[in-house]
């Protein structure tokens, strides 16, 4: 298949491009590098041994997006591009609505004009709000607890409405739980700008001495060790979930939400212990108050993805820590790291 990947240079996008190419598909990437590096795509090509076709542009520019579709016939689109920092979305809600909704609307209009009717959308487990029950199944109630989450929920709603009006479209809404880890080669990984917001990139920065100590946000949750529980999933498993989804779109009808998780929850303390095992020494941590808006526990029931596509996550928490650490050790400053 010929697949258009928006945001293909990003963390999940780049790992997905490798898996798509290895599965024999051709890939065209649209990315404006506003939160990613062109180096990521060079690594994709190196790992897959095949080229990626790149259009550097902002999808908010509908006229330029049109040039990507001209003269090509895509079989499907995977839409990763978007802003994703919860705290930033609270401070700059309009920017989040304009970017995440505007890019998606432009993309859908371009696809419709060119007769491309198969889409995989990057949704998030954030659409379950503060879960009252775990594991989470796709039919559970949806809500948004911040503007970022609201953009994901609104886009899901837009796609459900759009598919209701256009019976020929086939859309997978992939609800990722907590993607972490890196490519086993150590050549690709997560490269957040500034101080990381998320647990795993923060831990790896502490492990390589770029940050002093990890704050454990909340030690009084009603969980066995008092810290919050999440479903951490290796980014390569998430990437392979996209390959399975895009290959399975032909048998979907309308817009279908599907969880991508492992089905196992791990507490913050368990993640720290796993990293300490891999590292072979303790990590400096300090207890801190709960972070506003954090849920106590969230993990997936991943059985729908297995049922539909035969996909399951295969990597363990130790694999996630080992690969994240390998990447961060080789690239303490991310893709900007100069070779030693």
* Residues found near ligand UFG in the complex (CB under 6 A): 84, 86, 124-126, 149, 178, 197-199, 202, 214-218, 228, 230, 268, 291, 294
- Shortest distance, CB of residue 96 to ligand UFG, whole angstroms? 12
- Shortest distance, CB of residue 36 to ligand UFG, whole angstroms? 16
- Shortest distance, CB of residue 3 to ligand UFG, whole angstroms? 24
Q: For residue 314, which phi and psi values (nearest 5 degrees)?
A: -120, -15
106 vs 204, beta carbon nearer ligand UFG: 204
215 vs 314, beta carbon nearer ligand UFG: 215
- Cα–Cα distance, 108 to 59 (Å, whole number): 11
Sign of the torsion formed by the C-alpha atoms of 215, 220, 225 and 228: negative
Which H/E stretch holds residue 254?
A: strand 254-260
Establish whether 176 is a catalytic residue.
Answer: no
- Shortest distance, CB of residue 210 to ligand UFG, whole angstroms? 13
33 vs 217, beta carbon nearer ligand UFG: 217
- Cα–Cα distance, 154 to 170 (Å, whole number): 18
Closest CA relative to residue 216, chosen from 284, 296, 286, 292 = 286
3 vs 268, beta carbon nearer ligand UFG: 268
112 vs 213, beta carbon nearer ligand UFG: 213
- Cα–Cα distance, 137 to 194 (Å, whole number): 34
- Shortest distance, CB of residue 86 to ligand UFG, whole angstroms? 6
Q: b/e map of 119-133 (b: 16 or more CB within 10 Å)?
A: bbbbbbbbbbbebee
The DSSP 8-state label assigned to residue 128 in this structure reads B
From the list 128, 148, 176, 335, the catalytic residue is: 148
Q: For residue 43, which phi and psi values (nearest 5 degrees)?
A: -65, -40
Active site residues: 148
């Amino acid at each position: 298949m010929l697949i258009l990947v928006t945001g293909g240079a990003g963390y999940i996008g780049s790992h997905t491009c490798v898996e798509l190419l290895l599965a024999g598909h051709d890939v065209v990437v649209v990315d404006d590098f506003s939160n990613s590096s062109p180096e990521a795509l060079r690594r994709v090509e190196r790992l897959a041994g095949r080229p990626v076709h790149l259009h550097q542009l902002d999808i908010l520019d509908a006229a330029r997006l049109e040039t990507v579709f001209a003269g090509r016939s895509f079989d499907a689109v995977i839409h990763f591009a978007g802003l994703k920092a919860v705290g930033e979305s609270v401070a700059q809600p309009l920017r989040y609505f304009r970017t995440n909704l505007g890019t998606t609307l432009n993309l859908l209009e371009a696809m419709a004009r060119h007769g491309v009717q198969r889409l995989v959308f990057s949704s998030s487990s954030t659409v379950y709000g503060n879960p009252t029950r775990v594991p989470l199944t796709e039919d559970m109630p949806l809500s948004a607890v911040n503007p970022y989450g609201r953009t994901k929920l609104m886009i899901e709603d837009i796609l459900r409405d759009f598919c209701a009006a256009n019976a020929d479209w086939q859309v997978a809404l992939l609800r990722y739980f907590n993607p972490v880890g890196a490519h086993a080669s150590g050549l690709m990984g997560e490269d957040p700008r500034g101080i990381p917001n998320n647990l795993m990139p923060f831990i790896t920065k502490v492990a390589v001495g770029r940050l002093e100590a990890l704050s454990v946000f909340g030690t009084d949750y009603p969980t066995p060790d008092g810290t919050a529980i999440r479903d951490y999933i290796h980014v390569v498993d998430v990437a392979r979930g996209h390959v399975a989804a895009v290959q399975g779109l032909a048998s979907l009808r309308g817009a279908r939400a599907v969880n991508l998780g492992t089905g196992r929850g791990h507490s913050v303390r368990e993640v720290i212990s796993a990293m300490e095992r891999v590292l072979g020494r303790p990590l400096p941590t300090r207890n801190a108050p709960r972070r506003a808006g954090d849920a106590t526990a969230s993990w997936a029931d991943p059985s729908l993805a297995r049922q539909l596509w035969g996909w399951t996550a295969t990597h363990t928490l130790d694999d996630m820590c080992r690969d994240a650490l390998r990447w961060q050790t080789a690239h303490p400053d991310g893709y900007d790291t100069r070779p030693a």
